[in-house]
Amino acid sequence: MPNIVAVGLQWGDEGKGKIVDFIASRADIVVRFQGGHNAGHTLVVGGKVFKLSLIPSGVIRPNLLSVIGNGVVIDPWVLLNEIETLEAMGISISERNLAIADCASLVLPLHSELDILRERIAGKAKIGTTGRGIGPAYEDKVGRRAIRICDLACESSISKRLDALLEHHSALRIGLGQERPDRQALFDGLAEIAPKVYRFAAPVWQLLHNARSSKKNILFEGAQGIFLDIDYGTYPFVTSSSTAASSAYAGTGTAPGALDRVLGICKAYSTRVGSGPFPTELNDEVGRRLADVGQERGTVTGRRRRCGWFDAAMVSQACRLSGAYAVALTKIDVLDGIEELKIGVGYKLDGEFREFLPPLAEEQARAIPVYESLPGWRESTADARNFADFPDNAIAYIRRIEKLIGCPIRILSNSPRRESTIVLEDLFSAS
């Protein structure tokens, strides 16, 4: 199997967890390389529903190593809670099947407090973050004041790094009219959980280098989607990390040339959580139907997702940005029974046709989608096990998307269940 990077091609929530779990059957290692517990992946296997936010989606596969890379910011309390939840569901977690980069940065309670406070102050101008503290944690990482996994090795290191961190946050909190963070509570909390988390610490860069030398198969799992990327997304309504496939290198310590292929993942329609532009959004009965049938609520926050038509112009751009060689199209069954379907093929902005969404937020907000219409289908696709079992109009819809985005669709998902996954072409072939 080639080493594959799986990334979302929309605004996240594309069904990456299920697809990663599916192709992980051919992998030895699954690695998360960016984001934090603001990402939620839901898997349905054997009647059980697994909800993950930090641990890679391959964790429920036996004999597979899950790795959290240095590009991820980690809330240690959330991590331990996730481990406890998985173990209660029969998934054993130990140093044998979970490794965490020793240089990964931590998310602390003061980060989520600051995140929520800023959103409240922003009012109607808020970004729509999950309030999990991911952005403030990345700020501290870049500002060289973060506490990292390796600091959990000894209390003196925790204390020293905490002083550097609080010098910044105390001034910030006072400026926002808040009390200083409680240093003793933070220190006691970190000292208590340190041995429980540090036991998973490893030099991930070396682990992955050795795995490649041993011809192990590695699957890199992205979080969120390309249009939440800090550079290429609908800025400023974006996440605080790079969601592009290229960030798998820096986020894991993997050398350039080690990643063979990029698999892009997108829904058969569009969704978005939180604020920000959404040209093909539907504020009508069809939009509500997509949300209800697709059970469109965030895994992490439970917030109802905004829904709209498939935006081929956006996904085409994402394929180019990520270098996708193939696409997995998910939730095609949610479109069953809709009489007429539309696909966004570009935008009108001030009377001019645009092939791609412009970077300026004010222009993104004014962009009017240009649509193609296709007939829908009445038949159910949820129980299909082969592409030939799909209604003719569903096949035509899929093939039209494929042509518009300029990338072959190799996997179809037609329900949340693991077995409802159809492979059109082998992802692992040499071609």
Amino acid at 400: R
Cα–Cα distance measured from residue 5 to residue 101, given in angstroms and rounded to the nearest whole number: 18
Of 230, 227, 302, 275, the residue nearest 124 (C-alpha): 275
The CA-based angle 139-140-144, given to 5 degrees, is 120
Residue 102's contacts (CB-CB under 8 Å, 6 or more residues apart) are: 148, 149, 150, 201, 202, 203, 204
Active site annotation includes 13:
yes
Phi-psi label, residue 168: left if phi above 0, alpha if psi -120 to 50, beta otherwise = alpha
Q: Which of 13, 21, 102, 333 is catalytic?
A: 13
3-state secondary structure of 372: strand
> Could you please report the per-residue DSSP string of 80-100?
HHHHHHHHHTT---STTTEEE
Amino acid at 397: Y
Count CB-CB contacts under 10 A for residue 240: 22
Burial (Cβ within 10 Å: 0-12, 13-18, ≥19) of residue 306: buried
Of 393, 391, 382, 409, the residue nearest 44 (C-alpha): 382
Contact 70, 104 (CB under 8 A): yes
Cα–Cα distance measured from residue 100 to residue 33, given in angstroms and rounded to the nearest whole number: 11
Residue 17's contacts (CB-CB under 8 Å, 6 or more residues apart) are: 41, 42, 43, 52, 57
Count CB-CB contacts under 10 A for residue 341: 23
- DSSP E strands in 194-339: the ranges are 201-202, 218-221, 261-267, 270-272, 306-308, 310-311, 326-330
Q: Which of 37, 41, 111, 169 is catalytic?
A: 41
3-state secondary structure of 369: strand
Contact 101, 253 (CB under 8 A): yes
The CA-based angle 132-137-140, given to 5 degrees, is 160
Cα–Cα distance measured from residue 64 to residue 218, given in angstroms and rounded to the nearest whole number: 10
Enzyme catalytic residues: 13, 41
